[in-house]
Chains A and B, each alone.
Chain A
Amino acid sequence: MPHRLPENGLVVFAKRACETCAMVEPVLGELARSGQALTVFTQDDPGFPAILRPVDDTALENSFRFDVEAVPTVIRLDGGRETARTFGWNRSEWERVTGIAGLGQGLPAMRPGCGSKSREPGVHEQLFARYGDTGLTSRRITLDAWDDEAEACFERGWSDGLPVVPPTPTRILRMLEGTRRRPDEIIGEVPPNLSPITVEKVAINAVMAGCRPDYMPVVIAALEAALQPEFTLHGLLCTTCFSGPIIVVNGPIARQIGMNSGINCLGQGNRANATIGRALQLIVRNVGGGRPGELDRAVLGGPGKYTFCFAEDESDPTWQPLAVARGVAPGRNAVTLFQGDGIQGFVDQRSRTPQELTRSLAMSLLAVAHPKLCEFTNAMLVLVPEHYAIFRDAGWDRARITRELHAAMVRPGKDVIQGAHGVGEGVAASRRDEMVAKFWPEGLLIVHAGGQAGLFSAICAGWTGGRFRHESKPVTREIVT
């Protein structure tokens, strides 16, 4: 509770660690003897200054409420309102504020003070969360002093199975500084419960996922993309298949926030990659109510459902970035969300020409979902630099590679219809006499990423919802910072 102060009088904030505060200790004695009501708040040592009876403000509540920036600070109250203030030691200023002439004889005329403890890095946000009007509206849950906060989050079912960062008001306020969006703005409705989600709830889940505030624009863009009707997040999160959202980040923001597009970029070890994808999944779980075994009915699921997010390597100017290929202006920041599974490795250390490599890639891509299923899922090919170099050195760009790959995956219907080659799975028997493409023309997304060494690209099979060509599609969305 804030200290009750006299309606009229002087208020001083000081700390022992400040040499100027120690220097003006005799002046405080003069103020006390002046007959004016004097209240001295001490920020660090409740026994300082010893000649007075200071009020302990080591919790810094009063310093916060008076918005003290430096010590010593002297404030005059008249009728309960602040009418004058000065800080540091400046004789004429102190005389003006206190109305007492001849203060601090023998002291220099002026000496700067020190920073207020309430303004030390990280402290102000905590004080704001504790004493300020935060504007946060989420339900507050107060733990027992002896509770383990990480266990408390597990107990409440807020976790994907790994520990989460406890969402304290201070951390949430810091996270909200990463966006210009208002905390109460509604981004959309998160399936399966179609619960409205505010920016504040995004921030809470981003805190829990381990995000830094500067990831917020990417998290929000990813969520907005996921909530586009054509992304069909509802079906994706409830599906019996393996899939979840795979997030590819394009543009300078990926480098600014330290995302990995190189060595092990689909793996562990990068905070931004790991936590942005995780934040989206925690939102699905906590806000949408999509929990495994309840409405998430994946028969196996996949490790990508913890998080699957990476950046595209845009360092090679011959490569057209994915977002640009999908309509975003070059140099802009964007996310592309793909409904996909884990990775299927593509190993080819023998191909020397683009034709060889195309045929080789096509063989692996044909295995997506099932070798005899066609126009049934989309696919994402993560092409590593050494494989791309084979195409690039022959003058093939993204458009050419995509075109040639599609052409290499067209097969006679008689080979892929149900029952052909003694296998029941396959396309409808009515397509026996057609030439059948593996993917829709727009259904193969190619991303350039990975370390500089290794002829090992990756294929992410798409979700089976992709068979509804016009109903379920990957989504690209610009990131607004």
Chain B
Amino acid sequence: MTPGLELCDPTAETASALRPRTAPLTTLAGSTVALMDIGKMRGDEFIDRLEQLCRERGVATRRYKKPTNTRVAPREMIADIAASCQAVIIALSDCGSCTSCSTHDLNDLDKRGLAGVSVLTEEFRHAFDQQKAAIGFDAAAIYVPHPMQNKTTAELHAFAEESIDRILAAICAASEPTPLEHAA
């Protein structure tokens, strides 16, 4: 991130400089979770497994795919997600432009009342924090190992299996970690 204009905070500074995120849902029952594929290579393999894991847990999902990870989502897609879903999982960012654009998408959907979380690789933890600060939005993120582009499909699926409970907990306060062997 290239530093730009510097502003002085006009508030009493009693709160965080970040706008609080939309509160997580109290239950996933009856809700539809948008699975937004940011359009980066290999992300679909991770999301395929995420979709299966949601289905196993009885969580209704709806797939979306951005035309490119290098721009924010088309307005029509944002409007469709906001109209059809109550929460959103955005995956999988493993580069600077993905991180920046997906955080803006998350902010956009958060302002429309969707509980959301972004999934990124560990390497972009700092970039995500910087983008949060620049937008002024206390966004939620779950991290998976970096790099991911050189992984096998099975390894990407394992990332999804390892992170699914944390991802769902980020969008639903009542989401209990469910051991895989008990889910079906």
State the A residues within 8 Å of B (CB): 136, 138-147, 149, 152-153, 155-158, 166-169, 172, 190, 193, 195-197, 200-201, 204-205, 208, 282, 286-289
Contact = CB atoms under 8 A, between A and B. Distances in A.
Contacts of B13: 138-139
Given A147-B134, A155-B136, A155-B137, A141 B12 contact: no
B135 interface: yes
5 contacts: A140-B9, A142-B133, A144-B1, A167-B8, A195-B12
Contacts of A193: 12, 14
Interface in B101-143: 107, 130-131, 133-137
B2 interface: yes
Contact of A144 (B2, B9, B107, B137): B2
A286 to B, nearest CB: 4
A146 B4 contact: yes
Contacts of A196: 12
Nearest to B100: A144
Interface string B152-175: 000000000000000000000000
A139 B9 contact: yes
A141 B2 CA distance: 13
Interface of B: 1-14, 17, 19, 100, 107, 130-131, 133-137
A144 B7 CA distance: 11
Contact of B19 (A143, A155, A166): A155
Nearest to B131: A144
A169 B138 CA distance: 25
A197 B100 CA distance: 35
B12 A167 contact: no
Contacts of B1: 144-145
Given A141-B8, A143-B3, A286-B10, 5 more contacts: A141-B9, A141-B136, A152-B135, A155-B19, A289-B12
Scoring B19, B100, B135 by chain A CB atoms within 10 A of each residue's CB, the highest score goes to B135
Contact of A286 (B6, B11, B107, B135): B11
A141 B134 CA distance: 8
Nearest to A151: B135
Scoring B1, B4, B12, B136 by chain A CB atoms within 10 A of each residue's CB, the highest score goes to B12
Contact of A140 (B7, B10, B137): B7
